Structure 1
Amino acid sequence: MERGSLMSSLTKTHIFFAGATGYIGGSVLQHLLDHPKRDTFQITALVRNVDKAKVLNTLGVNAVVASLLDFDNVTELVAASNVVINTAESDNLDAIKAILRGLKSHHDKTGEVPIYIHTSGTGVLVDNAAGLHDTDVVYVDINPETIESLPETAPHRSVDLAVVSADREGYARTYIVLPPTIFGIATGKLYDLGISNRHSIQIPIAIKASLDRGQGGVIGEGKNTWPLVQIHELAEFYKILFDATLSDPSTPHGREGYYFAENGEYKLHDLAKTYSRVLYDLGKGRGPDPTPFTTEEAQKYFGGPWLGSNSRCKAVRARRLGWKPTRTTKDLLESVPPEVEAIILQK
């Protein structure tokens, strides 16, 4: 039986969701809760905090208090699901294997091929530029051969390979979303209720490091380039992909199921110059221009010079599904002052 016809015959689409309390996950889950077919979804979400679980329960979500490290529990919950959406973990191979075991169990018991939407990241594309130069290497998601040329030692890569292997073996249809630098303070019900985290990682970590050292910083000369996406436009793509996977089994998956989610690029120096000026104007920096993080500072704040890497890509597959993001580099830079102010208030 075709996947689409099987799904249409079900009373409920059972969705297992990991990452509800996170920055990406909160926005994606909100789309599911607001979905026009919400009444046909039974959503189970993994949550580590009891109080947050109780609030999610009031919204009609079956919140299970556990983590992705509770492997047996995860496998059992996934095995009972038609769709799995993971926005919580891109590097813990053991946790992903627990998900994959559940998908295989579901397939073995029902004959159905479940859907797995996995979150990776364009960190898999990084080089060792150390902020000293740009690159002409641009990955395009409709060219799986170039993605397959990435070394297994690249960030996220071992997990991505395991996910694609599940598709190749036929017990799941897999889709990997690779967000780049995500910007914007997230808004919406799940954030207002204190369930989900409003802030990204990449930009805030650089701001916090700069605040701690009393001066805006940059890795090397900041000549490296990264792609970008606004948080709610990213979540909109997850919804588009989710709808496509349910309605059309031929939506590219497996080795062809990599989806970059970018809408432009920025230079790290331009970002650093922006938050350095804001910190200076607020009396939190010694000067308006960024200075290089020392080797010791890069290790202390970031675990190395990865903020000096290049990561370049084009989101062709996402746009072919109908995704139409509008927020660009200008919007990213304009998002920095409120981000700085929010971080200062948290201190």
Structure 2
Amino acid sequence: MTGKGSVFLLGPGFIGLQILDELLKDGYPVTVLVRREEARAKLEKLGCKTVLGSLDDGDVIRKAAAAADIVIHTATADHLPSALSILDGVDERAKSGKSTIYIHTSGCSAITDGGHGERMSDKIYEDDKPETIDSIADNAPHRSIDLAILKRRRELGTKAKISIVLPPVIYGVGKDNRLSIQIPTMARFALKHGFAGYVEGGNAVWGYIHVADLARGYLAIVHYMESAPAEEVLADPYFFIENGEEYSWKRAAEEIGKALHKAGRLSDPTPRQIPPELYSYVFGEWSGPVVGRNARNRANRLRALGWKPQEKSPWDSLASEELPIIMAEKTDFNGYSAPVAS
């Protein structure tokens, strides 16, 4: 193959647009799955091709995956049919002697513990020790989709190179002023209810990553998977991407409270526990796994490849970039109900 391999990208949203920018800057020809006709022109103006369809359009996804050297799924961690359609396309290529790189986006909710945020966990998952990640419960968040991918990965063996990325808390302002989910949702809750809140005990911790550092991490994974032997890629399916910073959910609420108090939007910056009857204003029944439990991890594999985080800290980003956007919003926020890829 001469030049850069062709890429099929699903999910041109907060994560996907940032990855698209990195791919295009690096010279990759990219085709993007797009749901709405009106979005095609804007994406194509960036320099990529588009194919019209939703995650439920299995034949569209399968054909596009079969035509691509590299497939990256960032649309959601919880849509099994689209992942299986990609794998069907990967299988078609394998039968014709062509290898495919497939990177699926899961999330660190998969490694959350069973506690209720009473304390920081001693358990730290490391991506160069895949057996520890393999040991998580089959019913953990996102895990049913990950397990289906891992099953097909074993069946394909060295005929395809398949990896799963598990991002932690993502922050920063992405392309088109897009924002992430977890911390902005907590900030919107604070603005609506008049206090910065945390779920459950508040002492559980997660890692963090800026969306721009995340996208550069995906590109580093692509480069690695292109050059590494298939046998080496097959030995470990997982990549974490974290910047070395860990914070409790109570600390997140404290930072939100301080920033909104300084902006004159909260009279008292002191964080408080969110009562269960208000969970519908954060993540509903998933509030605990998404913003309440421990999910500690280390991106050893990316660091071994030479990747390093470069962006500002989460709280500098929150105060200077994200909160001004959130405070200017005019819609009435009533919680986050969509699937969360975190």
For 1:310 and 1:339, the matched residues in 2 are separated by 24
Partner of 1:294: 275
Residue from 191, 203, 221 that aligns with 1:241: 221
Partner of 1:277: 258
1:183-241 per-residue CA deviation (whole Å, 9 max, x = no partner) reads 1112xxxx2xx4xx621111111111111112111113421110111111111111111
Contact 1:164 1:255 in 2 (8 A): no
Query: 1:51-70 residue pairs with structure 2 within 5 A?
Result: 51-70=38-57
Contact 1:166 1:174 in 2 (8 A): no
- The answer as to 2:295 corresponding to 1:308 is no
How many Å apart are 1:327 and its aligned residue? 4.6
- The answer as to 2:147 corresponding to 1:164 is no
- Quick one: which amino acid aligns to residue 266 of structure 1? Y
1:70-98 per-residue CA deviation (whole Å, 9 max, x = no partner) reads 11111111111111111112111122111
1:119-161 per-residue CA deviation (whole Å, 9 max, x = no partner) reads 1111111123323221111111111111111111011111112
- Deviating beyond 4 angstroms after TM superposition, the runs of 4 or more aligned structure 1 residues are none
For 1:204 and 1:168, the matched residues in 2 are separated by 38
Cα distance, 1:300–1:56 mapped onto 2, change above 3 Å: closer
Partner of 2:65: 78
Partner of 1:340: 323
Partner of 2:108: 122
For 1:107 and 1:31, the matched residues in 2 are separated by 27
- The answer as to 2:194 corresponding to 1:214 is yes
How many Å apart are 1:51 and its aligned residue? 2.3
- The answer as to 2:2 corresponding to 1:18 is no
Partner of 2:36: 49
1:292-328 per-residue CA deviation (whole Å, 9 max, x = no partner) reads 1011112442113231100001111111111112457
For 1:281 and 1:151, the matched residues in 2 are separated by 42
- The answer as to 2:243 corresponding to 1:263 is yes
Q: Counterpart of 1:64 in 2: which secondary structure?
A: strand
For 2:187 and 2:78, the matched residues in 1 are separated by 24
- Quick one: which amino acid aligns to residue 14 of structure 2? Y
Contact 2:101 2:225 in 1 (8 A): yes
What TM-score results when the alignment is normalised by the length of structure 2? 0.89
What TM-score results when the alignment is normalised by the length of structure 1? 0.88
For 1:182 and 1:341, the matched residues in 2 are separated by 18
- The answer as to 2:135 corresponding to 1:154 is no
For 1:250 and 1:73, the matched residues in 2 are separated by 27
Partner of 1:324: 308
Contact 1:215 1:284 in 2 (8 A): no
- The answer as to 2:158 corresponding to 1:175 is no
The alignment of Structure 1 onto Structure 2 pairs a total of residues equal to 323
For 1:316 and 1:13, the matched residues in 2 are separated by 26
For 1:301 and 1:61, the matched residues in 2 are separated by 35
User: Share of identical aligned residues, percent?
Assistant: 36
Partner of 1:5: none
Residue from 52, 58, 74 that aligns with 1:87: 74
- Quick one: which amino acid aligns to residue 82 of structure 2? A
1:254-286 per-residue CA deviation (whole Å, 9 max, x = no partner) reads 451201111221121111101112222333224
For 2:235 and 2:280, the matched residues in 1 are separated by 34
Contact 1:215 1:279 in 2 (8 A): no
For 1:344 and 1:294, the matched residues in 2 are separated by 24
Q: For structure 1, which runs of at least 5 residues remain unmatched after alignment? A: 1-8
RMSD value over aligned CA atoms? 1.8
Partner of 1:3: none
- Quick one: which amino acid aligns to residue 318 of structure 2? V
Contact 1:83 1:114 in 2 (8 A): yes
- Quick one: which amino acid aligns to residue 339 of structure 1? E
- Quick one: which amino acid aligns to residue 248 of structure 2? K
Q: Counterpart of 1:200 in 2: which secondary structure?
A: coil
Q: For structure 2, which runs of at least 5 residues remain unmatched after alignment? A: 331-342
